[in-house]
Amino acid sequence: MSESPLIIALDYPSLDAALCMADQLDPARCRLKVGKELYTRSGPAILEALHGRGFDVFLDLKFHDIPNTVAGAVQAAAEQGVWMVNVHASGGRKMMEAAAERLVSQGLDTHLIAVTVLTSLQESDLREVGLNVSPAEQVERLALLTQQSGLHGVVCSAQEASHLQAVCGESFLKVTPGIRPSFAAVNDQQRIMTPSEAMQAGSTHLVIGRPVTQASDPMAALAAIEAELQ
Ligand SMILES: O=c1ccn([C@@H]2O[C@H](COP(=O)(O)O)[C@@H](O)[C@H]2O)c(=O)[nH]1
């Protein structure tokens, strides 16, 4: 159980590689995120292993399907004890309401959030898929829909966090990937911010992967991020 805003993304191709990193981390100093690659390779075993080590886990599978299917998937994730799970807001109101209602009806207190616009996308990418809006406009639209559908928050870039704080309120979760400390490579991210900028902008949680996991000294990278936040 952690009060830290940091969520470390365990994007590894095997359970052993992920646990090798987890065993260097302290559940009091960060939470962990399990995404598509790791979960597809290791299945629920990775959740059991991380829970057994005392970590809160964000299962980042970004469900997007018809309402009944997504509600069942979210229930399955919550029954495995994850702290947080997510869906794509573009799946629409009915899908999100079904997922949120399923958690309530089953008495499950897992945080349910929705992805707005992936942090790897910019305006030209949206145009290619038929959306003639800026990322900021689309994020606001989907965040409001997410809130109206009864979810606890969104995944967005930190660049949109301060505006969402104004329109959705402080308690609405703003989980922000695309975090890049000054020492890290940008990689495939587009809408980025440093850890301290992101917190100042109103992010409630920072998702950080490669700047820590691919660093030559991951623990030093994490310590540098923590020092920047203090
Ligand atoms: O919009 C999104 C949604 C999810 N992610 C995930 O966050 C991490 C970021 O990893 P880095 O190595 O720090 O880039 C990764 O697991 C993504 O799947 C995102 O980046 N953007």
Instruction: Give the pLDDT confidence of 181-224 residue by residue, as tens digits.
Output: 999 999 999 999 999 999 999 999 999 999 999 999 999 999 99
Burial of 229 by CB count in 10 Å (0-12 exposed, 13-18 middle, 19+ buried)?
middle
Q: Whose CA is nearest to atom 18 of ligand 1?
A: 35
Instruction: Give the pLDDT confidence of 169-193 residue by residue, as tens digits.
Output: 999 999 999 999 999 999 999 999 9
Per-residue pLDDT at 84: 98
User: Where does ligand 1 bind, in terms of residues with CB under 6 Å?
Assistant: 9, 11, 35, 115, 118-119, 155, 177-178, 187, 189, 207-211
Per-residue pLDDT at 1: 65
In angstroms, rounded to a whole number, what is the distance separating the alpha carbons of residues 4 and 26? 11
Per-residue pLDDT at 2: 81
Per-residue pLDDT band for 110 (boundaries 50, 70, 90) equals very high
pLDDT at 15 over 70: yes
Q: Look at residue 206 and give its three-state secondary structure.
A: strand
Q: For the full predicted model, state whether its pTM sits above 0.90.
A: yes
Known binding-site positions for substrate: 11, 33, 60-69, 119, 180, 189, 209-210
Query: One of 36, 62, 94, 174 is an active-site residue; which one?
Result: 62
| 191: CB partners within 8 A, 6+ apart | 119, 121, 122, 135, 157, 158, 159, 160, 178
